[in-house]
Amino acid sequence: MAESDQGLEAARLHGYADSTVIDRPGFDRRAFLRRTALTGVAAGSVSTLLAACGSSASGGGGGSASVFGSHASYKFVFVNHVTTNPFFTPTQYGAADASSLLGCSYQWTGSESSNVNQMVNALSSAVTAKADGIAVSLIDLHAFNAPVEAAIKAGIPVVAYNADAPGNARLSYIGQDLRKAGEKMGERIVSDVGSGEVALFIATPGSANLQPRIEGAEAAVKASGKPITLHTVATGAAVPGELSTIDAYWVGHKNTKGMYAVDGGSTESLAKVMQKYGLAAKGVKAGGFDLTEQTQNLLKAGDIEFTIDQQPYLQGFLPVLQLFMYKVSGTLTGLAETDTGLKFLNKETVAPYVSSKSRYEGTATAAKVIA
Amino acid sequence: MASVAGGSAAQTPPAAPGGSEHSLRAPTRRQVFERVVSLREGSIIVVTIITAIYFSANTSSFFTGTNFKTLLPYFAPFAILAAGEVFVMILGEIDLSIGAMYLFAPILFYKLDTSLGFGLVPGVIVTLLLCMVVGALNGFFVAVIGINSFVATLAMLFTFEGLALIISHGTPVATPGAQPPLGTFGKVFGGGTYAEIIWAVAIVAILQVVLTFTRWGLYTVAIGSNKLGAAEAGVQVKLVMIRNYMLCSLTAALVGIFEAVRSATVQPDPAGANEILFLAVAAGVIGGTLLTGGSGTIVGALIGALFLGILKDGLILQGVNANYLLFYTGLAVIVAMSANVYVSRARRGHSGSG
């Protein structure tokens, strides 16, 4: 991340805690106050730490002991719903980088195929292995409530990343505010399309990491009062299937004025369909989420108008950081609700992503400073 | 681990008469080892024990009471799935639609309970019956129409995964009767810590007895060895095949409900179900059942599932990352199967000479 973004990020941390948490259903005021109090401390510690990182990088590893005192080599476990999905490659780099910065280790496990039973099994194994902390993507509203409570009862702090479930006992959430992201997209649909038929593509409807975006978009369109008819279309979890679904949808619904997707795979497929039929030139509007390489290229070529970045790297880096702080501070500090962002990228602003290869986007393995 | 010891002990006596002709003296340690290994389940028992010892030695948290509980859901559902699948595999056929039953049953159960007001237990019973009808359809397509079982059940897999998505509108829902605090229904049907393993052991025991000691089991093996011969000997081949497919759908539907209750959520995403399907078939094959038919063991399927479960749990406990997990799992399965093939060849050679 560029140096100047740190301030922005910290500001966003504050802004998020002050305004948006309240919108969450199942919101707990007491927990909110506690978290808000922690946010300031944590945001401060982020910048201190990043500064420390700059100086200790030249001095070699093991710098964390000189800052925080000598600590055990903590082991944190990430439980993920699609462990081998390329979206999470930068997340794993983030977790790896934070771990080596702080003298910890991390494990990446869970399910390859959104199977919540396998995720619950992996979570139980992490508790059995006495992990020092667990980060889990809460893609289901019910499945993780009891296991997370059991882990916390066993003395293992649990944070959520990438997807959150209201009412879950997790100590903090690090990821995009999914409903707000959907609302922003909905506002964009209203201003770009204005009226007519609009398709919303979603890989797996109902999953807690995608559905809030659809709901947010629907709410924003409804609130605008514009004569826009939304059609939600399920595309499935695999890219080849998504491509044919979206292709077929366009062929069958040529009066569609705008097509939007709420997940990375569908966005990439949507962009390919837009390119195939030259729809941007015909005035069809399109946009979506996340930054696969194909999405970047097609956005730059002008086939879609925007994509929304949620900084997957930070979704690995910050959970390790928060869990680490929580451990070294003896639970006094570290946890903070963190919105990893809602960054609209367009044809121009996507350029640096296309031209650079980095761990932050999962396109390179080697760490290097991007000038 | 108790179930492994139990499984081998239970299987030793039937093998003993054949082996004991050779020596009147007390068997040496080597002979005992040879006898265990030459059981159909023998090599996988040995491989499983070695795997467990390896993880016990390398991971302090493996051989603990906590991990015993952690390990149960890693293999119990697969043991039940594989138990039903083995009945189809012995016929020389395959049932891929178990993935769809696993996915479809809890959604059907949810609809019956919430939309149609069946209540919990009647809902489960009707779900299981309907899934058995699907199994009968599988059997009908394979045995009566004569469609290749791989293709027929693949088509049924797609059909019912699609139907599951359609009736659920692709949206996960909360499993009825599985929300905390857990009632008796939830505890019995998969939610209790030991629920799935008790069901698994009971189902495996019953089906092993059916396979070994009843006419149904005998006919199943006969059809798998020589379909034409069995038919000429008066076995009602089509009926037995349809019955086995119904059994297979029943066990898969049961596991679907157990797993939905355990996780308190009904998930309509077929990706997870497809993975379950292959693991269940793998458990059966690793346990010593031939994909070509004519030979199979339910206890072996349980141990095959246990092997896969220990492997996955142990690797996660050791801190292995997801990408390496697949890699190691693949290697371990190859090693286990090589041992299986080698031992079964040795067994054939042994019985051939004797």
DSSP symbols for A213-257: HHHHHHHHHHHHT--EEEEEEE--SSHHHHHHHHHHHHHH-TTEE
pLDDT of residue A276: 94
Counting one residue from chain A and one from chain B, the pairs whose CB atoms sit within 8 A come to: 126
Residue A42, pLDDT score: 45
Nearest to B269 among A109, A110, A237 (CB): A237
Task: Give how far A11 is from chain B: nearest CA, Å.
Answer: 34
**Nearest-CA distance A105 → chain B (Å):** 9
Residue A4 has pLDDT above 60, yes or no: no
Q: In this structure, how many other beta carbons lie within 10 angstroms of the beta carbon of residue B29?
A: 7
Out of A33-37, A43-47, A63-67, B69-73, the most confident range is B69-73
Taking residues A241-268, report their average pLDDT.
93
pLDDT digits (tens, 9 = 90+) for B165-210: 888 887 889 999 998 888 999 999 999 999 999 999 999 999 999 9
Q: Is A130 on the interface with B (CB under 8 A)?
A: yes
Provide the angle, in degrees to the nearest 10, between the axes of the packed helices B65-90 and B215-225.
60
The Cα–Cα gap between B323 and B216 comes to: 43
Cβ-defined contact of A83 to B66 (cutoff 8 Å): no
Question: A231, A245 in Cβ contact below 8 A?
Answer: no
**Tokens 């959907």 — which residue?**
A182
The yes-or-no verdict on residue A205 having pLDDT over 50 is yes
Instruction: Using CA coordinates, name the residue in chain A closest to B68.
Output: A128
Of A305, A313, A228, A234, which Cα lies nearest the Cα of A274?
A305
Q: Both tokens of residue B108?
A: 């059907």
For residue A117, how many other CB atoms are within 10 A of its CB?
22
H-type alpha helices, chain A: 5-15, 29-59, 63-68, 89-102, 116-128, 145-153, 178-193, 211-224, 239-252, 264-276, 293-300, 312-328, 351-355
Instruction: Choose among A84, A116, A125: nearest Cβ to B265.
Output: A116
Which pLDDT tens digit goes with each residue over B290-299?
889 999 999 9
**pLDDT above 50: residue A36:** no
* Pair of tokens at residue B286: 């690793």
Interchain pair A128, B263: CB under 8 A: no
Between strands A75-80 and A133-136, the pairing is parallel
Confidence of residue A49 (pLDDT cuts 50, 70, 90): very low
Q: Which residues of A touch B61 (CB under 8 A)?
A: 128-130
- Say if the Cβ atoms of B61 and A128 lie within 8 Å: yes
Residue A109 with chain B: CB contacts under 8 Å: 316, 320-322, 325
Closest Cβ opposite residue B70 in set A115, A118, A125: A125
Contacts of B173 in chain A (CB under 8 A): 206
Closest-CA distance of chain B to residue A149, Å: 12
Across the interface, of A84, A128, A130, the residue whose CB is closest to B323 is A84
Q: Residue A58: pLDDT band by 50, 70, 90 thresholds?
A: very low
Say if the ipTM goes beyond 0.85.
no
User: Taking the CB of residue B258, how many other CB atoms lie within 10 A of it?
Assistant: 26
Cβ proximity of A111 and B272 under 8 Å = yes
- Whether the pLDDT of residue B115 is over 90: the answer is yes
Phi, psi angle pair for B251, to nearest 5°: -65, -40
Instruction: Name the nearest CA neighbour of A89 among A291, A242, A261, A227.
Output: A291
Assign A200 to helix, strand or coil: strand
Q: If you measure CA to CA, which chain A residue comes closest to B174? A: A142
Chain B touched by A83 (CB under 8 Å): yes
Phi, psi of B314, rounded to the nearest 5 degrees: -60, -45
Q: Does A50 touch chain B (CB under 8 A)?
A: no
Q: Give the one of A114, A120, A142 whose C-beta lies nearest to B269's C-beta.
A: A114
Torsion of CA A244, A245, A250, A253, to 10 degrees: 140
Which of B346 and B280 is assigned the larger pLDDT? B280
Mean pLDDT of chain A: 85
Contacts of A126 in chain B (CB under 8 A): 316
